[in-house]
Amino acid sequence: MVDVALGSLLDLIFKAFDKELVLTEDSWSNFRSNCFATMLLGYLLLMLGSLSFTLGAFVGVNIGTDLSNLPSPEQVVAILRSHRITHVRLYDADNHLLSALSDAGIEVMVSVTNEDVLRIGQSSAAAAYWVKKNVAAFVPATNITAIAVGSEVLSTIPHAARILVPAMRNLHKALVSSNLNYPIKVSTPISMDIIPKPFPPSAATFNASWNSTISGILDFLKSTNSFFMLNAYPYYGYLQSNGIFPIEYALFQPLTPVKQIVDPNTLFHYDSMFDAMVDAAYNSMSAYNNLVIPIVVTETGWPWAGGANERDATVENAQTFSNNLIKRVLNDSGPPSQPTIPINTYIYELFNEDNKPGPLSEKSYGVYFSNGSSVYTFGTDTLGQTTVNNASGGFCVARKGADTSSLQDGLNWACGPGQANCSAIQSGQACYMPDTIENHASYAFNDYYQRMRSVGGTCDFSGTAVTTMVDPSYGSCLFTGSTNSSIGGTAMPAMGPDGPPGNGSPGLVPDIMFLFLVTVVLSFV
């Protein structure tokens, strides 16, 4: 009788977590006899799961492809790995790039294009085919963790709003059928445009004309343990404020006492417009049954160039915004209303998309040029790298912004008269990509320095080189003098630990809870 009751309870638990329980008399006997091992495993997994909740937030990048000199998929991945980028969002599901991302140690968010939303929303078969072709065909080698359904559908193609939630549901059902619904979440990027008055955040609400659609989206996200995708640009918020807010507020810079930004209803102090925007979304959500769904900012950024009437689109402002954003996100805290929910964020964007329509600023959000060189000093180039204290006194690398011709002269000398071993930067070798003078010079300068320092060799190269205590190795490219045994085919954890929104992975939570509940039931056997 006890066995029957426990079997029924286990069956309920399995069904609740979309799993199937098939037990014969023999397998039930084995199930019971392995009770202790199962309990031990369950508790260990629970402990590991709890550890995942302590992991910090991450910063990723968006990869747009509307540029005239788009690198090959292999070159894109090499650039990502060389700059220690561990999370990316694609605006489609380009199969060539997904293949190149295989075993790269990078979490990938793929997207359903706006053009495909209508088709997938009207046909579960179309959704199943899309998942089979663009997701199931690449996992687990390519670490796909989320599907973004469209991009700002409510703002850009409002006529498709009625089909947006059905499209999300169809894709989720397809993931369930492929047993991929736990590791891969479905959501849709929402623009700040649908929050007409984001300040004060405590009074913010979604545009009432979208109430039905927003309600459906939130219900779906809650039921599937997914997250809310928000596109939030302080650059536009600052421009639209017409001088009400100081630019320091948009750039995460300190505010003087007379410029403090305070919500008059909650008395929360906002140090940045970014935090206020995220809180505006949280408060807009709370109007729907006090829902709190973790927010991931799927787009934010600052243009580094603009037209004559876009004077705030400068390299200095873009660099300040991006680097302060990274510091802000990686402090692992949320906005004032939700301080315990970190704000995982994707920066817009990897490359400058020169073919995009619109003003110059629209083409100038990239943090890297298509050859992999930086538009400005970007936080991913220093965050998370292994610091060392080796006998050589560090590494010798090319100075950021050094003259290209001078770098080439130094590279030629190092690989020639300097007798550096430059085989690793030859075509097809581990350190060839990204194929830039700066990257190749760094490798050659360092190899020379490590070999010759003990007999008087220096790290100067006519002022184009500097020493650093940060190991410049990446992926399978191991710089001479590195003692980092973890390098070799995988990217270093640059911008925060792997994981989803909030403090832990939504994909991991259901499985941990499932194992925990099964363990509790088995403890009565």
77-81, 89-93, 514-518: segment of lowest average pLDDT: 514-518
Q: For 248-261, what is each residue's pLDDT tens digit?
A: 999 999 998 888 99
Pairing of strands 269-270, 261-262: antiparallel
Q: Where are the domains of the chain?
A: 59-381, 395-468
**Angle 386-71-376 (CA atoms, 0-180°, nearest 5)?**
50
Is residue 491 very low, low, confident or very high in pLDDT (cuts 50, 70, 90)?
very low
Average pLDDT of 381-399? Answer: 57
Whether the predicted pLDDT of 522 surpasses 80: no
Whether the predicted pLDDT of 36 surpasses 60: no
Kindly list the distances between the CA atom of residue 502 and the CA atoms of 199, 225, 237, 330, 375, in Å, as whole numbers in the listed order. 24, 11, 25, 12, 30
Instruction: Say whether 438 sits in a helix, a strand or coil.
Output: helix
Kindly list the distances between the CA atom of residue 225 and the CA atoms of 11, 118, 162, 207, 512, in Å, as whole numbers in the listed order. 21, 24, 22, 24, 13
**CB-based contacts of 151, cutoff 8 Å, min separation 6:** 91, 111, 113, 114, 189, 231
46-50, 167-171, 465-469: segment of lowest average pLDDT: 46-50
Catalytic residue numbers read 152, 299
pLDDT above 90 as % of the chain: 59
Pairing of strands 143-149, 261-262: unpaired
| Angle between helical axes of 315-329 and 273-286 (0-180°, round to 10) | 50
pLDDT score for 40: 45
Query: Which runs of consecutive H residues, i.e. helices, occur in 123-272?
Result: 124-131, 153-156, 161-177, 211-223, 234-240, 247-250
The sign one gets for the Cα dihedral 140, 146, 149, 151 is: negative
Average pLDDT of 502-515? Answer: 45
Rounded to a whole number, what is the distance in angstroms from the first to the last CA of the chain?
12
pLDDT score for 8: 56
Q: For 432-443, what is each residue's pLDDT tens digit?
A: 988 889 999 999
Q: Which of 57, 67, 83 is nearest to 365 (CA)?
A: 67
Whether the predicted pLDDT of 392 surpasses 60: no
What one-character DSSP code corresponds to residue 387? Answer: B
Q: Which of 457, 458, 455, 476 is nearest to 467 (CA)?
A: 458
pLDDT above 70 as % of the chain: 78
CATH of domain 59-381: 3.20.20.80
Q: For 95-118, what is each residue's pLDDT tens digit?
A: 999 999 999 989 999 999 999 999
29-33, 90-94, 300-304: segment of lowest average pLDDT: 29-33
**How many residues does the structure list for the chain?**
525
Kindly list the distances between the CA atom of residue 145 and the CA atoms of 101, 180, 299, 461, 506, in Å, as whole numbers in the listed order. 13, 9, 17, 44, 10
| CB burial string 384-417: b at 16+ within 10 A, e below | bbbebeeebebbbbbbeebeeebbeebbebbbee
Residue bearing tokens 């084995």: 30
Strand segments, DSSP code E, in 163-294 are 185-187, 189-191, 228-231, 261-262, 269-270
Is residue 456 very low, low, confident or very high in pLDDT (cuts 50, 70, 90)?
confident
- Look at phi and psi of residue 403 and say left if phi exceeds 0, alpha if psi is from -120 to 50, else beta: beta
CB 262 within 8 A of CB 327: no
Is residue 244 very low, low, confident or very high in pLDDT (cuts 50, 70, 90)?
very high
What one-character DSSP code corresponds to residue 448? Answer: H
pLDDT score for 184: 97
Average pLDDT of 464-472? Answer: 80
Rounded CA separation 305/30 (Å): 67
| CB burial string 92-111: b at 16+ within 10 A, e below | bbbeebbebbeebbbbbbbb
